[in-house]
């Protein structure tokens, strides 16, 4: 059964990248971007297996921010690009009056909200955030707690932004907690991972969307969120022979 699922997954992935390659002049970065969340290493393997024609990636890779302490795979520390954090906040401000913002596992959004002096609460399990973001303004309250236990969220927020680990269990638990402190007419924003993130991702996305629809009205926006590629991941890619320009902002999500 699992083998069958993986074979179907690879076949759909092959279709997606082959279709993009047929448009011509595609770089490996273009094919990775068309692969809806599939790992760049897997896409590179499939490109080779299918003998797809790629042109070399042009331009220099974006400069990634250097974080101290470094981002870590434990905790899934994948940060939004600065541009994404700004756009997401702009969008929230257009949609609802941001009287009180709750950010769950989204320190870059809390930091961007702090720059706008928006009353914000950040809940995150990583206490190192106080060292990584040195100058938290007074408008940002930090609560260090695990959202997988019970963080005992209280209050009433006009908007909640959350970015849990991309698994149904975490996403469901965080979404339910977010809903419990959302005011009437409030808005919850969260990334929705691509359908090729892993073989089970399509079903998992459906489960997350089903829960979200049971909690309120849902709108999915395409290709809205870009992530930086953290140092630990860039190094892993380099070891697999991928060049930085192949994986520029490769991780994206819908919201």
Ligand X SMILES: C[S@@+](CC[C@H](N)C(=O)[O-])C[C@H]1O[C@@H](n2cnc3c(N)ncnc32)[C@H](O)[C@@H]1O
Give the interface with ligand X as residue ranges (CB under 6 A).
75-80, 105-109, 124-126, 146-148, 163, 165
Which is closer to ligand X, CB of 38 or CB of 161? 161
Which is closer to ligand X, CB of 171 or CB of 212? 171
Which is closer to ligand X, CB of 52 or CB of 113? 113
Classify burial at 179, counting beta carbons within 10 Å of its beta carbon; exposed 0-12, middle 13-18, buried 19 or more: middle
Classify burial at 247, counting beta carbons within 10 Å of its beta carbon; exposed 0-12, middle 13-18, buried 19 or more: buried
Per-residue DSSP letter, 97: -
Least distance in Å: CB of 171 to ligand X? 11
In the complex, residue closest to ligand X by CB: 105
Per-residue DSSP letter, 251: -
Residues whose CB falls within 8 Å of the CB of residue 94, separated by 6 or more in sequence, listed in order: none
Which is closer to ligand X, CB of 69 or CB of 75? 75
Which is closer to ligand X, CB of 106 or CB of 121? 106
Q: Give the CA-trace dihedral at 230, 40, 172, 131, to 10 degrees.
A: 0
Which is closer to ligand X, CB of 26 or CB of 230? 230
Least distance in Å: CB of 218 to ligand X? 20
Least distance in Å: CB of 2 to ligand X? 26
Least distance in Å: CB of 163 to ligand X? 4
Both tokens of 45, joined, read 């393997």
> Which stretches does DSSP call E strand in 50-178?
101-104, 120-124, 140-144, 157-162
With residue 157 as reference, give the H or E element that holds it: strand 157-162
Classify burial at 214, counting beta carbons within 10 Å of its beta carbon; exposed 0-12, middle 13-18, buried 19 or more: exposed
Least distance in Å: CB of 18 to ligand X? 30
Least distance in Å: CB of 211 to ligand X? 18
In 10 A of CB 27, how many CB atoms?
17
Contact 35, 13 (CB under 8 A): yes
Which is closer to ligand X, CB of 40 or CB of 105? 105
Least distance in Å: CB of 58 to ligand X? 28
Both tokens of 202, joined, read 């399509």
């Amino acid at each position: 059964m699992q083998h069958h699922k993986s074979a179907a997954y690879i076949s759909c992935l092959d279709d997606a990248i082959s279709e993009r390659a047929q448009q011509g002049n595609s770089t490996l970065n273009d094919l990775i971007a068309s692969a809806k969340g599939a790992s760049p290493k897997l896409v590179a393997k499939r490109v080779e297996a299918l003998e797809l024609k790629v042109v070399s990636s042009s331009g220099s890779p974006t400069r990634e921010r250097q974080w101290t302490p470094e981002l870590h795979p434990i905790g899934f520390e994948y940060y939004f690009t600065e541009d994404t954090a700004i756009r997401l906040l702009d969008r929230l401000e257009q949609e609802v009056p941001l009287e009180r913002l709750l950010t769950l596992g989204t320190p870059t959004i809390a930091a961007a909200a702090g720059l706008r002096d928006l009353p914000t609460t950040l809940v995150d399990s990583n206490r190192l955030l106080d060292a990584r973001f040195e100058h938290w303004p007074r408008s940002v309250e930090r609560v260090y707690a695990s959202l997988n236990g019970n963080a005992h969220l209280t209050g009433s927020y006009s908007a909640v932004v959350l970015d849990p680990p991309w698994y149904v269990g975490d996403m469901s638990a965080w979404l339910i907690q977010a809903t419990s402190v959302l005011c009437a007419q409030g808005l919850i924003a969260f990334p929705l991972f691509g359908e090729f993130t892993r073989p089970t991702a399509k079903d998992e996305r459906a489960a997350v969307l089903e829960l979200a629809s049971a909690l309120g009205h849902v709108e999915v926006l395409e290709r809205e969120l870009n992530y930086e590629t953290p140092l630990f991941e860039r190094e892993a890619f380099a070891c697999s022979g991928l060049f930085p320009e192949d994986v520029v902002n490769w991780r994206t999500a819908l919201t």
